[in-house]
Amino acid sequence: MDEKNEQVSAKRHELIVLANSMLAGELNLIEGVRQICALRFAVEDPENEVFLVIRGIDSETDTFPLGAMRANCSPEYLSRMDNEMQRYLSEAQVDILEACREIIKAFS
């Protein structure tokens, strides 16, 4: 296997690991969505339809502060955005988890 194929194979494996972590509740779903969206460009078909739901959710949630960006936000803003994110996830969780299952199936 050449180096490019090895890199693609490693990224496919990383997609599967992320999706499994999300399914297991080990990774925040929005963080996982963002990571999968970034990784999809490293596999052979970034426009693959298995990414449609993930891409839509990434677009709808890009204002939610996660990770290091939270350090720059006021406690009041974080509280409001965290509540909004929980409301969003209560509606989108089933779709996100189903998308994770599809990604695992497509890239296994």
Q: How many CB atoms lie within 10 A of CB 65?
A: 15
In the block, tokens 């963080």 appear at 31
The C-alpha R_g of the chain, in whole angstroms, comes to 15
Residue ranges covered by each domain of the chain: 3-107
Judge whether residue 48 has pLDDT over 90.
Answer: no
Predicted local distance difference test score (pLDDT) of residue 1:
60
Query: Residue 27 has what DSSP assignment?
Result: S
Structure tokens of 30? Answer: 């929005």
pLDDT-based confidence at residue 55 (cuts at 50, 70, 90)? very high
Phi, psi of 39, rounded to the nearest 5 degrees: -70, -25
